[in-house]
Every structure is written in structure tokens, then in C-alpha cells.
Chains A and B, each alone.
Chain A
Amino acid sequence: MAETKSAWESVGGNNGDRIGGNANKFSYTDKDGKTHTLQVDCGTMFSDKELTGYDNFMPDLFEADGFLLTHCHMDHIGGISHMLNLRRDELKANREAGKEFVIHCAPYTQKLLEDNLALQKMPREEWPKFEKVEDGKPFEVAGFKVEPFAVSHSAPDAMGFVIESPDGVRMMTMGDFKTAPVPLGKGWDNKKIAEIAKKGVDLMFLDSTSATQEGVCPPEKDVEKGIKDIVAQSEGGMIVSAVIASSAHRLHTVAMALAKHANETGKRPRTIILDGGSLKRSYIALKRCGYDIEKQVKQATGQDIKIYDARAPEAQKVPKSERFYVCTGTQGEELASFYRASQGTNRNIPMKGGCPVFVYNLQSCIPGNEEQYAAMEQGFKDQGCTTYFPDRYKENKYLTHVSGHAKAGDIKLACDLVAKNSPRPTTVVPVHGDPAQRKAVMKIAQDAGLKAAIVPNFAAVEVSKEGKISYVQPTSKQEVWIGINDKNDNFIEPDFQYDRVTRDVDTGRLRVVETIPYTKAPVEDERRGKGKNKEGKWNNPPKKNKGKNKGGRFNPAFVKKGRGGR
């Protein structure tokens, strides 16, 4: 009879140099030697295709008896569609045998993942089944007891989990978190974390992304003032702004700021007009998950804030000086709404017409995007707009963005709550950060009286029934990843190639181990009326566009750079 053990392993996310591709393996080996596994998250990590040949990387596949997701960001869910592609045959056989692939996650996370699957045109019968996860409602999966708890992050419905093995070993993962309140849904709650800690925590995994920054990550509410100031500065003009679509709380913040500005000035509030597919999907997902921004703002301020789709006639009826456009494309992505507005080619945003235009990028430039970021601002200036593009390295006039990640003060709070309340010793394992950030978390944890350990990818932490902790170091310095290459470089009609690659931890050098064979979506050609008939001739051959964009609509043939992760 074997000794039982509970274990955790990072199979992506604790990377040497950058954050992404998050995936955690929780396991329990029973007395018969059988291992039960729970996977938490399966994200992608962006890659510079010119350097690596891949659009994204994702964690290698492993057997899991259960699947949990912490939140909807692509570095946590982006690998799932690819995993479903790679396991198509196996999952089909399972389905036919009555065994569905089930993912446990909160509603907003589910909706954004489903959007991702739809955009990849994944056949509906291949979509996973979902089990709804709610704050404070425990459930069992794969032999583990799971206690979900809400945390604050830039995406709504972000969750942490306590995962308790049959031995009673309790492993607490916070997911991506901060401690300030969030406007939509539940967020971090000191009392709840303390209550959870009272039941005992053996291992605690902490987001390290902003651990080297002093203080506490500010609440989303702090952005309201920045937006109000922007509105005050733009009197009589049309406002065109851009946000990160996945930071869905920001829509609420903009609406609140417009309402409060109207209350303070006695003027009619501006109307929010959304442009850009991902932003509209975020809004639709919020509504489907019960987050009604207009209603919440009305209740809080008494103001009726309208939110329109930019393509709708109602949007064009709003006087220009009362419009507040919110667009996608803060970083100058070529096809995104904001960039097209900067070139005067966005038919949904009329840049001409006698009304001054004030342009605000609510996000600073992310390193690597400097050229297109500056070009976009110049494009707006060339059209006579007044622009405000914040500088990443300076103090800016308006606060237009706050992060969703815990700073040193938040991490200290989490450590203190657990140190004070857990009846048994807790070991902190920093995750989701570079080595310096993870070291910063380790120090904070130790200062709080907790044990802490830096654990790289593919190393495991094992906990015995008696609570004894041991570490299993990786046997190789070669990390294993799956490289995702869209051979078409066309996010509308991607043609994926998946390579299993090794990455040398010290040098970062990649080596292709194998191209992973997989069965493509079986009905793809049939569904689209393409493919070849029995005589080998093409059915319904694709229309030739002759270099023109039919009817002013988007022509996928013009897409040069793909998004890969979709």
C-alpha cells in the first residue's frame, strides 16, 4: 500500500522571464497509487512570431480529471480552444461513451471562453460543458473538495479556490487578485479570507505580478475622477477614447464618471458609444451575467446613461458634442476601432464635421508598441484632434487606468490574514511573476511569519497527510511547451500547427520536439460549403475579391498579421 500524498505543480506560468501560459496541476495520489488530477487554468503566452515562429505558447497537455478556471483573461483561458483541438478524437470518443468534458468556472469566465470558441468556429457539439462556480458555494470534483471565493481583479467574476485533497491538505490559490473593491460583482473580502484561513491552509499560491511595487493597488473607482476631468476638459467636443476590452469594470467606471459629471454640472450626460468587437462582447457578456451597468448607474446617481452600439442609427442621432466613444485598440492594433479612427477610415466614428474632437487613450503604451502607438496619436493630430496619450514612465495628468494585480501591500494583507488565522503552518508559493517579483512575495510572506518557497515550472511541492512539505525539482532544464502557429496568419480562417517544443530555462532557446498531429474540425469544409466532392473538384469555390473590400466590409484576404490565440 502506497503512502498518500497531495501535490501541486506549475506546468506554465512560473516562467523565467515573462508572465503567461498559466496552468496549475493539483494532484492526489491515493493508497492504491492512483493519481487524481485537477487542472486550474490553461492560458496562452504571447510570442514574437518573427523571433520564435509561433504566435503563442501554451502549457503542455496532461491528464486531468477535473478542470477549474480562475478568470477570463487569455493568459488563463487562451489555451483551452487549442487543447480541445488537440484532444478532438479523444474527447469525441469520451462524449460517445457519455463522458463530457466539464469545466468549472464563474459565469463571466464561461461566457468569454464560449465567445473564444465561437470565434474559432469550433463545432458546437465540441464545446465543453460548464458547471457554474459561485463565491462561497463549495463543490466536489475529481475527489477534491473545492471552496471558491471571490477576489478583486480587472475582470469581473475572478475567483480564488481552496482545493482540499481527500487527505485534508488544503491548497489555496488566489488566482490574479488585488484587495481593493470592484464595481461589478463580488470582490476581495478580508472577513471571508480569514474564515477560510481558519480552516487551515497548507499551501498558498500568490500572484506576484506587481509585488515589487510599494503600497496597495488602487481601486477601480479611482479612475472615475480621471474620466470626469477628461469630460470637463472636452466641453463642446466629441470624445473618442480607447480601453482594454478585457478590463470590463472600466465600462462601469466610464458610465459612473459621466453620470457624476452630469450631476455636478447640471448638464445632460454624455452617451457612451461602443466600437470594436471585443468591447461589445464584453458588454454583452456583462449583461448576460446580470451586470446591468445602466441600471446600476441609475440607482447610484439617478442619471440615465445610454450605451449604444456604434453601428446603430441611434448612435448617429446623438449630438457629436454629447458622444463619448469607447473603442478597442489602445496599442494601435492595425484593424482595431481606435486605429482606424486615427486614420479617418472608421465609418462608425465620423471625425470630420465641425465639432472639435478630443482623443484620449486611457491606456499607456506597452513596451514594444511604441511605433504604432505614436503613429496612432499622430494620425489623430493630423486630423486636427486634441490628443492625450499617457506616458508609461511619467506621472500623467489624468488617472485613467489601474491594474488588477496585488502590490506589496495587498500581498502583505493576504499573508497577514492567513498567518493570523490558519491553525497550521502555511507555505507560500509565489506564482505569476518573474523571478524578482516572486522573490518579493517570498520576502513579504516570510516577514509575515509564513514559510515561503520559490518553485519553478515543472517542480512540484508535495504535502504528506501529516502536513510535511517536500519539493521535487525538475529533472531537466528543458521546459516543455506547445508552440501555436497560425500558418495562414489570418485570424478569420486560422490554420493551426502545434509543435511540442522544449525551451532551455537558461538560454531561452527553443527546440522543436515534434509536430503534434491532430484531427481538424471534421465538419469545417462541409459547414462552409467548401471542400472537394467525390470527383475531387472543389465545391463552392471561394469568391475572388479582386483586391477590393466588398461593399466596404472587411476582407479577410487583407489580413496579414494574425492573432494566433484565437
Chain B
Amino acid sequence: MSLSWEKYWEIAEALNEAHPTQDLIHLNDADLLKMIVALPDFNDEPVPPSPKDLEAVLTCWTELDNPEPQEKIPAAAM
């Protein structure tokens, strides 16, 4: 499947497969961008329309590593 910026979830899936042990919490935007552009199926401009596109990829990547349901913590405990 051809990957373009709007497919941020699919980009995250491809990254997760390509870099299964990547430290996600210290990954900076420049390195993330390099990884995305290097994906074999990536077929879009080398610069995202907005920095938020990169952030969306990283957000989804953190979820793909170990998906979990949302915490159901009542307001009183927070």
C-alpha cells in the first residue's frame, strides 16, 4: 500500500514493523521524519504538511507497541 501523510496510522504500523525496538519517548522529529521517508512504501512529499502529522504518527506508534483500553479512572481519583 502506498503511504502518504494522511495515512498516519498506516505509517506508524510500517514503522513499528521496521523498527520494533525503537525508543519512542526520545525520538525527535528529525529522526522520525528520516525513518518515514525511508519506508519503502512511502510515496509523498519528504516534508509533512504540518508538524502535527509527525506527532500523529508517533502517537499511533506508541499505541501499536502495546494497545490498551483507556483507563477508567473516576474523576475523584485524579
Contact = CB atoms under 8 A, between A and B. Distances in A.
A561 B7 CA distance: 26
Given A19-B74, A121-B9, A328 B25 contact: no
A540 B2 CA distance: 13
Interface in A313-353: 313-314, 328-331, 333-337, 340, 348
A284 B70 contact: no
Interface of A: 18-20, 46, 73-75, 111, 114-115, 117-119, 121, 123-125, 127, 153-155, 176, 209-210, 244-247, 274-278, 280-281, 283-284, 287-288, 307-309, 311-314, 328-331, 333-337, 340, 348, 363, 366, 401, 403-405, 432, 491-492, 523, 527-529, 540, 553-554, 556, 559, 561-566
A154 B77 CA distance: 9
Nearest to A529: B1
Contacts of A245: 71
B52 A335 contact: no
B23 A311 contact: yes
A336 B56 CA distance: 21
A420 to B, nearest CB: 29
Interface string B7-50: 11110000010001111111000000000000000000000011
Given A46-B74, A331-B72, A363-B77, A284 B58 contact: yes
The 5 closest A-B pairs by CB, nearest first: A312-B23, A563-B70, A563-B69, A118-B56, A118-B59
A144 B52 CA distance: 29
Given A19-B75, A119-B60, A403-B78, 6 more contacts: A118-B60, A124-B56, A155-B78, A313-B21, A329-B71, A401-B77
B71 A540 contact: no
A405 B75 CA distance: 9
Q: What interface size band does chain B fall in?
A: 35 or more
Which secondary structure dominates where chain B touches chain A? loop
A124 B7 CA distance: 9
B64 A312 contact: no
A311 B78 contact: no
A317 B59 CA distance: 26
Nearest to A312: B23
A283 B52 contact: no
A53 to B, nearest CB: 17
A278 B71 contact: yes
A176 B75 contact: yes
Contacts of B5: 124
A470 B53 CA distance: 48
20 contacts: A18-B74, A19-B74, A19-B76, A114-B56, A117-B56, A119-B63, A121-B60, A276-B68, A277-B63, A277-B67, A280-B25, A284-B24, A284-B25, A309-B24, A331-B72, A334-B69, A527-B7, A553-B16, A559-B69, A564-B70
